[in-house]
Amino acid sequence: MVTDIKTRLLGQDVSFPVDESRLAYWLVVMRLIVGWWFLHAGLDKFLAWPFDASWFVGGAAAQTTLGPILVLFSDGILLSFTNVMVPLGQTLIGLGLIVGAFTRLAAFFGAFLMTFFYFVNGETGDWSHGVITGDLLGLLIFAMIATLGAGRVLGIDAYLARTDFVKDHPRLRHFIG
Protein backbone atom coordinates (compact mmCIF):
# COMPACT_ATOMS: atom_id res chain seq x y z
CA MET A 1 0.00 0.00 0.00
CA VAL A 2 1.12 3.52 -0.72
CA THR A 3 0.05 6.60 1.22
CA ASP A 4 0.26 10.14 -0.07
CA ILE A 5 1.93 12.45 2.43
CA LYS A 6 0.27 15.78 1.74
CA THR A 7 2.31 18.68 2.99
CA ARG A 8 3.98 21.98 2.18
CA LEU A 9 7.57 23.05 2.81
CA LEU A 10 9.15 26.45 2.16
CA GLY A 11 5.86 27.61 0.68
CA GLN A 12 5.68 24.82 -1.88
CA ASP A 13 3.53 21.75 -2.21
CA VAL A 14 5.94 18.88 -1.57
CA SER A 15 3.40 16.06 -1.28
CA PHE A 16 4.93 12.66 -1.93
CA PRO A 17 3.94 8.97 -1.85
CA VAL A 18 5.31 6.57 0.80
CA ASP A 19 5.23 2.78 0.63
CA GLU A 20 3.74 2.01 4.04
CA SER A 21 5.11 -1.50 4.58
CA ARG A 22 8.64 -0.45 3.64
CA LEU A 23 8.43 2.51 6.00
CA ALA A 24 7.21 0.29 8.88
CA TYR A 25 9.97 -2.25 8.17
CA TRP A 26 12.62 0.45 8.06
CA LEU A 27 11.46 2.07 11.31
CA VAL A 28 11.77 -1.23 13.18
CA VAL A 29 15.22 -1.99 11.73
CA MET A 30 16.51 1.48 12.64
CA ARG A 31 15.03 1.29 16.13
CA LEU A 32 16.53 -2.12 16.89
CA ILE A 33 20.02 -1.35 15.60
CA VAL A 34 20.27 2.09 17.19
CA GLY A 35 18.68 0.69 20.36
CA TRP A 36 21.26 -2.08 20.59
CA TRP A 37 24.03 0.49 19.98
CA PHE A 38 23.02 2.38 23.13
CA LEU A 39 21.96 -0.64 25.21
CA HIS A 40 25.33 -2.23 24.56
CA ALA A 41 27.16 1.00 25.41
CA GLY A 42 25.27 1.26 28.70
CA LEU A 43 25.54 -2.39 29.74
CA ASP A 44 29.21 -2.43 28.81
CA LYS A 45 29.86 0.33 31.34
CA PHE A 46 27.84 -1.40 34.06
CA LEU A 47 29.66 -4.70 33.45
CA ALA A 48 33.02 -2.94 33.81
CA TRP A 49 31.84 -0.92 36.85
CA PRO A 50 32.94 1.54 38.20
CA PHE A 51 32.57 3.89 35.24
CA ASP A 52 34.62 7.06 35.34
CA ALA A 53 33.58 9.86 32.96
CA SER A 54 36.23 12.29 34.20
CA TRP A 55 38.36 11.73 31.07
CA PHE A 56 35.40 12.95 28.99
CA VAL A 57 33.96 15.82 31.03
CA GLY A 58 37.37 17.03 32.21
CA GLY A 59 40.62 16.64 30.30
CA ALA A 60 40.46 17.29 26.59
CA ALA A 61 36.78 18.30 26.67
CA ALA A 62 37.68 21.44 28.60
CA GLN A 63 39.10 23.01 25.41
CA THR A 64 36.02 22.32 23.29
CA THR A 65 32.97 24.49 22.57
CA LEU A 66 30.98 22.63 25.25
CA GLY A 67 33.94 22.71 27.65
CA PRO A 68 32.59 25.48 29.92
CA ILE A 69 29.50 23.34 30.63
CA LEU A 70 31.23 19.97 30.83
CA VAL A 71 33.95 21.00 33.29
CA LEU A 72 31.21 21.75 35.83
CA PHE A 73 30.66 17.97 35.90
CA SER A 74 34.34 17.05 36.18
CA ASP A 75 34.51 16.55 39.95
CA GLY A 76 32.52 16.18 43.14
CA ILE A 77 28.88 15.22 43.26
CA LEU A 78 28.22 16.29 39.65
CA LEU A 79 30.92 13.86 38.44
CA SER A 80 29.33 11.09 40.54
CA PHE A 81 25.96 12.02 38.96
CA THR A 82 27.51 11.85 35.46
CA ASN A 83 29.18 8.50 36.21
CA VAL A 84 25.77 7.00 36.98
CA MET A 85 23.57 8.89 34.51
CA VAL A 86 25.61 8.22 31.37
CA PRO A 87 25.47 4.39 31.62
CA LEU A 88 21.93 4.46 33.08
CA GLY A 89 20.73 6.86 30.39
CA GLN A 90 22.34 4.85 27.60
CA THR A 91 20.80 1.62 28.96
CA LEU A 92 17.31 3.10 29.29
CA ILE A 93 17.48 4.80 25.88
CA GLY A 94 18.60 1.52 24.30
CA LEU A 95 15.91 -0.50 26.08
CA GLY A 96 13.25 2.07 25.18
CA LEU A 97 14.12 1.89 21.51
CA ILE A 98 14.39 -1.90 21.36
CA VAL A 99 11.02 -2.57 23.02
CA GLY A 100 9.47 0.58 21.53
CA ALA A 101 8.48 2.11 24.87
CA PHE A 102 8.51 5.89 25.35
CA THR A 103 10.30 5.94 22.02
CA ARG A 104 10.17 9.68 21.41
CA LEU A 105 11.43 10.44 24.92
CA ALA A 106 14.24 7.90 24.54
CA ALA A 107 15.19 9.25 21.11
CA PHE A 108 15.19 12.84 22.41
CA PHE A 109 17.64 11.98 25.17
CA GLY A 110 19.67 9.92 22.70
CA ALA A 111 20.05 13.01 20.53
CA PHE A 112 20.84 15.07 23.65
CA LEU A 113 23.70 12.73 24.62
CA MET A 114 24.96 12.55 21.04
CA THR A 115 25.26 16.35 20.95
CA PHE A 116 27.92 16.15 23.67
CA PHE A 117 29.69 13.20 22.04
CA TYR A 118 29.62 14.91 18.64
CA PHE A 119 31.29 18.17 19.68
CA VAL A 120 33.76 16.75 22.22
CA ASN A 121 34.89 13.79 20.09
CA GLY A 122 34.90 15.96 16.97
CA GLU A 123 36.91 18.85 18.33
CA THR A 124 39.43 16.46 19.92
CA GLY A 125 40.25 14.57 16.71
CA ASP A 126 37.18 13.02 15.05
CA TRP A 127 36.77 15.99 12.70
CA SER A 128 40.17 15.32 11.11
CA HIS A 129 38.29 13.98 8.06
CA GLY A 130 35.47 16.55 8.13
CA VAL A 131 32.63 17.40 10.50
CA ILE A 132 30.18 14.71 9.36
CA THR A 133 30.97 11.87 11.76
CA GLY A 134 29.19 8.78 13.04
CA ASP A 135 28.20 10.79 16.11
CA LEU A 136 26.34 13.37 13.98
CA LEU A 137 24.67 10.64 11.92
CA GLY A 138 23.62 8.90 15.18
CA LEU A 139 22.15 12.19 16.39
CA LEU A 140 20.21 12.59 13.13
CA ILE A 141 18.86 9.02 13.34
CA PHE A 142 17.63 9.71 16.89
CA ALA A 143 15.93 12.87 15.58
CA MET A 144 14.36 10.85 12.75
CA ILE A 145 13.07 8.16 15.16
CA ALA A 146 11.58 10.87 17.39
CA THR A 147 9.98 12.58 14.39
CA LEU A 148 8.43 9.44 12.95
CA GLY A 149 7.36 7.92 16.28
CA ALA A 150 8.80 4.51 15.47
CA GLY A 151 7.58 2.89 18.71
CA ARG A 152 4.11 2.25 17.31
CA VAL A 153 5.47 -0.37 14.92
CA LEU A 154 5.88 -3.68 16.79
CA GLY A 155 6.50 -1.71 19.97
CA ILE A 156 4.97 -1.24 23.42
CA ASP A 157 3.96 2.31 22.47
CA ALA A 158 1.23 0.83 20.24
CA TYR A 159 -0.31 -0.61 23.42
CA LEU A 160 0.36 2.49 25.52
CA ALA A 161 -1.34 4.75 22.96
CA ARG A 162 -4.56 2.76 23.38
CA THR A 163 -4.66 2.93 27.18
CA ASP A 164 -7.32 5.09 28.80
CA PHE A 165 -4.60 6.98 30.67
CA VAL A 166 -2.96 8.18 27.45
CA LYS A 167 -6.36 8.89 25.86
CA ASP A 168 -7.22 11.04 28.89
CA HIS A 169 -3.84 12.78 28.78
CA PRO A 170 -3.16 13.24 25.02
CA ARG A 171 0.01 15.27 25.65
CA LEU A 172 1.67 12.02 26.70
CA ARG A 173 1.66 11.10 23.01
CA HIS A 174 4.59 13.51 22.67
CA PHE A 175 6.69 11.02 24.65
CA ILE A 176 5.57 7.74 23.14
CA GLY A 177 5.98 6.66 19.54
Partner 1 sequence: MTQLTTAERIALYGGGGLLLIGTLGIGLLEILAGAPHPVSGEGQIVHETLVPLTVRSSIMLLGLLLWGAYAVASVAREPAVDTSI
The contact set with partner 1 (CB under 8 A) reads: 6-8, 10, 60, 64-66, 108, 111-112, 115, 119, 122-132, 136, 139, 143, 146, 152, 161-162, 167, 170-171, 173-175
Contact at 8 Å (CB) between 82 and 57?
yes
Task: List all residues 6 or more positions away from 10 whose beta carbon is below 8 Å from its beta carbon.
Answer: none
Nearer to partner 1, 14 or 29 (CB): 14
Contact at 8 Å (CB) between 166 and 159?
no
Closest approach of partner 1 to the CB of residue 128, in Å = 4
Give the span between the Cα atoms of 166 and 177, in whole angstroms. Answer: 12
Closest approach of partner 1 to the CB of residue 132, in Å = 6
Nearer to partner 1, 38 or 119 (CB): 119
Nearer to partner 1, 5 or 80 (CB): 5
Residue 155 CB-density burial (10 A; 0-12 exposed, 13-18 middle, 19+ buried): buried
Nearer to partner 1, 156 or 173 (CB): 173
